[in-house]
Amino acid sequence: MTWHILGAGSLGSLWATRLARAGLSVRLILRNRQRLAAYQQAGGLTLIEAGQAQQYAIAAELPQADAPIHRLLLACKAYDAQSAVATIAERLAPGAELLLLQNGLGSQDEVAQRLPRQRCLFVSSTEGAFRPADFQVVFAGNGYNWLGDPNDPQPPAWLDELQHAGIAHQWSPDILTRLWRKLALNCAINPLSVLHDCRNGGLSEHPAEVATLCAELGELLQRCGQPAAAENLHEEVQRVILATAANYSSMHQDVAQGRRTEISYLLGYACAAAQRHQLHVPHLQHLQQRLLSHLRERGLPLA
């Protein structure tokens, strides 16, 4: 079965090239004729791994193509997920499976509610990748991909294709715990890295601020029925800060390059959840206001 991939960003390209390298059928869906022409001129996607570059001439098409889609990896930003799915909704075969590879929480439910006849699998990834140029991707850090379906604990039969492609993965019956945990990690690290304008390692100089946020986030996870996601949160945040000390967070990169952030699906989602549960989180709310002011000053979108 063909893997259709919508969103040729860093992670989408990383998945596409590894699947193609394993000899699996892959098709990219590019948003318009200009992108398709640019891709065809480039000759394919280039994967750079351990300093070695290899190009893969993966087939590409427009959203309006005729072929039905049975399996789709949606690898766009969280705020683009709904509109991206709308462009190909008519092509989805009955019972098609969608892998939703978005940061934060909220966008997955939006897509699943829009497509009640499809199976939506949620993916939480810790793999590192970035694009040095159009249609090139650098595999920057080995990580893991957890996949799960909140409505069906039964894993799909095609997981061995990921094994064959060398995509480190695990089926997770408790995928929401994984996503809540990652949301908390992102909320504790990404906004502060933007406000202090530092690499992740620079947050070691702000231990009290990090500890206070972790305490509130842990309380929020408990209130939202995710006690497992709250366990040893502060310790893991400190570990991630050290392990990724030389990296800039994804939110820092977005702000530095004048791009829209995923604040609504990260810090915004956490603050909204606290409000729903009538939980007082003054430091998280203050952090959100500081970050919104920072974005406003730079003329960037606030949602």
Q: How far apart are CA 234 and CA 227, in angstroms?
A: 14
CATH topology for 177-298 is: N-(1-d-carboxylethyl)-l-norvaline Dehydrogenase; domain 2 (1.10.1040)
- What are the E-state strand segments in the chain? 3-6, 26-29, 45-49, 52-56, 59-61, 69-74, 92-100, 119-125, 128-130, 136-141, 145-148, 169-171
Residue 137 tokens, joined: 């991707």
Note the pLDDT of residue 128: 87
End-to-end CA separation in angstroms for the chain: 37
Per-domain boundaries in the chain:
3-173, 177-298
Contact criterion met (CB below 8 Å) for 171 and 150: no
CATH topology for 3-173 is: Rossmann fold (3.40.50)
Q: How far apart are CA 190 and CA 175, in angstroms?
A: 22
What are the backbone dihedrals phi and psi of residue 125, each rounded to the nearest 5 degrees, phi first? Answer: -120, 140
Closest C-alpha among 257, 260, 265, 223 to residue 100: 265
Residue 201 tokens, joined: 């390692």
Residue that has been written with the tokens 């098709």 in this structure: 27
**Cα dist. 152→98, 121, 149, 159 in Å?**
14, 9, 5, 15
Q: Catalytic positions, please?
A: 182
- What are the E-state strand segments in 84-217? 92-100, 119-125, 128-130, 136-141, 145-148, 169-171
Three-class SS of residue 147? strand
Specify the DSSP class assigned to residue 208.
Answer: H
DSSP characters over 47-96: EEETTEEEEE--EEE-TT-SS-EEEEEE-S-GGGHHHHHHHHGGGEEEEE
Q: What is the pLDDT of residues 122-149, one digit of tens each?
A: 999 999 898 999 999 999 888 999 999 9
Residue 282 tokens, joined: 């003054």
Residues of the chain with pLDDT under 50: none
The separation between CA 150 and the C-alpha centre of its own chain, rounded to angstroms, equals: 17
Positive or negative, the CA dihedral 76, 82, 86, 88 is positive
Note the pLDDT of residue 140: 86
pTM: 0.94
